[in-house]
Amino acid sequence: MQRSSAARINAISRHITGEYRRKGQPSLPCNVFINHRGVDTKRNVAGLLYHHLHRLGLRPFLDSKSMKPGDKLFDKIDKAIRECKVGVAVFSPVYCDSYFCLHELSLMMESRKRVIPIFCDIKPSDLGVKNVGSCPVHEIDKFRRALEDARYTVGVTFDTSRGDWQEFLASVTDAVIKNLVEVESESMIRKNNYLHTSMIKKATFPEKTM
């Protein structure tokens, strides 16, 4: 698995690097955004997943690892979500108490990102908007829709006290890589279709010379 995973990651990296060089971008964006509740998972699930993906050559975003003092919280995180290819939502017992977690999740869903749910010590049916302060009604509705989408997305279930951590990391990594490959393939198909359509239009309606 490790050899095939490395080959797929290298192919994805080459494609993204090439795209950014052609566009003249100064640095590569993250390709995996890890959405989590720090008090529950920063020191175990989210942290281990970040290091595991990073060692494989991917560019995961984790707030405690990818931000520095002085960064604007929403600016940095929202930009990372919009630029990423795949999101990983790590649901935990107090996840839904956090405005920030729900904001990130809803933005991933609104941006139509591929989101892989990880249900850590919690069942999908337990997800629901709880105490998020004095949120406007429209934001609460967004959060509920995002959680509903997550509940009905195939994910990974893990018991942190009895589960096999090595098997868990391998399973999530495999899911991330498969989704990255699919997203990149779909992007290339759209690009090829656009180029094909443009060529047909030029052939059908050639530009008139003065």
CA gap 37, 40 in Å, rounded? 6
Q: How many Cβ atoms are within 10 Å of 39's Cβ, its own excluded? A: 13
Amino acid found at 83:
E
The two structure tokens encoding residue 68:
């520095």
The vertex-76 CA angle with 72 and 80, nearest 5°, equals: 170
Q: Tell me how far apart the alpha carbons of residues 45 and 159 are, in angstroms, rounded to a whole number.
A: 11
Indicate which residue of 83, 104, 139, 207 is catalytic: 104
DSSP letter assigned to residue 28:
P
Tell me whether residue 184 is one of the annotated catalytic residues.
no
Give kind and range of the element (H or E) at residue 139. helix 137-151
b/e map of 166-178 (b: 16 or more CB within 10 Å)? Answer: eebbeebbebbbe
List the catalytic residues: 104
